[in-house]
């Protein structure tokens, strides 16, 4: 889960509000995390709003729809109020208590059924996998299978495959580790060397067109051709462990963009060799 950026809270502005409104509301006002407010309140020994007489200050509009869909205890934690507050509120509306066995509010979950395995979804809901299966079969939804998964736009992630750990990448994409392994196999990516990792990482930042030129002319010449700083080229070259251009460069010459290492004094892009023309074709 993304962590809220740490902010420095000037509590002199907010201390008076502690316990008068819920921690959640106060956190929203401050723009801080809920934990920051709860911790401060506890530090000051102030009871949470709703615990003692301040019950009316709970804004239930956010929470009423959750009554009975989770355990009261769980909801009380979320709201930042006492268990009794939730219990009373739930009874006021005649909503039965959530029970793990049969209290699943499927309206909340039905749309997730096609995209998740029964056990995965059951874990999310906090019910038995069997309950999901029964529900799924009742709705006539086929058992979740990798092929039924929402299409992952792999082009977006290509530069991270093999660079970031599969497990972490799966979290980033929101797919299974298996889906990543399958895609890696498709791309023929095994274990990447450090060098290959650097290459993959920068696949989308324009270097693909220029990597073959590194070390084939002086860094400053390449930098000029690319329209970037000389140090950018130097850093890239060193990361890929490519030696510096070994010879002197003719003043004012341009490199053959085929990457053969020849310097050109005319306005051509390549030296004209077949390999260089092919390379230029490939990258343009
Ligand atoms: Zn050439």
- Mean pLDDT in residue range 198-215: 82
pLDDT, position 230 = 93
Distance 197 CA to ligand 1 centre (A): 27
Distance 261 CA to ligand 1 centre (A): 6
Q: Which tens digit of pLDDT belongs to each residue from 236-257?
A: 998 888 999 988 999 899 999 9
pLDDT, position 146 = 58
Distance 264 CA to ligand 1 centre (A): 9
Distance 1 CA to ligand 1 centre (A): 51
pLDDT, position 3 = 55
Q: Among candidates 83, 63, 81, which has minimal Cα distance to 73?
A: 83
Q: Lowest-pLDDT range, 48-62, 227-241, 249-263, 267-281? A: 48-62
Distance 204 CA to ligand 1 centre (A): 25
Q: Where are the domains of the chain?
A: 11-92, 106-146, 154-192, 206-283
136 or 69, greater pLDDT: 136
pLDDT over threshold 80, residue 97:
no
Residue-wise DSSP of 21-70: B-HHHHHHHHT--HHHHHHHHHHTTPPPTTTSS-GGG--GGGTGGGTTTS
Q: Which tens digit of pLDDT belongs to each residue from 110-155?
A: 888 887 888 888 888 777 667 788 888 888 888 876 554 557 788 8
Which residue reads 């060098």 in tokens? 195
- Cα–Cα dist 73/204, whole Å: 48
Distance 153 CA to ligand 1 centre (A): 37
Distance 60 CA to ligand 1 centre (A): 72
* Mean residue pLDDT across the chain: 83
- Cα–Cα dist 38/50, whole Å: 13
pLDDT, position 148 = 42
3-state secondary structure at position 116: coil
């Amino acid at each position: 889960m993304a962590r809220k950026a740490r902010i420095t809270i000037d509590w002199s502005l907010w201390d008076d509000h502690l316990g008068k409104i819920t921690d959640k509301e106060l956190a929203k006002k401050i723009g801080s995390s809920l934990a920051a407010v709860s911790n401060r309140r506890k530090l000051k020994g102030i009871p949470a709003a709703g615990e003692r007489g301040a019950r009316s200050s709970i804004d239930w509009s956010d929470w009423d729809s959750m009554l009975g869909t989770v355990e009261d205890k769980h909801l009380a934690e979320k709201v930042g109020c006492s268990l009794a507050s939730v219990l009373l509120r739930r009874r006021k509306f005649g909503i039965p208590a959530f029970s793990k066995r049969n209290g699943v509010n499927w309206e909340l979950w039905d749309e997730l059924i096609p995209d998740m395995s029964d056990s995965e979804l059951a874990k999310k809901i906090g019910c038995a996998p069997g309950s999901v299966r029964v529900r799924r079969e009742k709705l006539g939804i086929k058992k979740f299978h990798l092929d039924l998964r929402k299409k992952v736009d792999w082009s977006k992630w290509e530069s991270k495959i093999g660079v970031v750990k599969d497990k972490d990448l799966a979290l980033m994409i929101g797919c299974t580790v298996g889906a990543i392994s399958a895609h890696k196999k498709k791309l023929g990516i095994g274990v990447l060397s450090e060098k290959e990792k650097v290459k993959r990482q920068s696949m989308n930042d324009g270097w693909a067109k220029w990597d073959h030129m590194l070390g084939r002319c002086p860094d400053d010449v390449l930098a000029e051709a690319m329209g970037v700083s000389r140090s950018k080229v130097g850093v890239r070259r060193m990361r890929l462990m490519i030696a510096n251009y070994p010879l002197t460069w003719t003043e004012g010459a341009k490199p053959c963009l085929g990457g053969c290492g020849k310097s050109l004094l005319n306005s051509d892009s390549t030296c004209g060799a077949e390999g260089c023309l092919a390379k230029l074709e490939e990258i343009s």
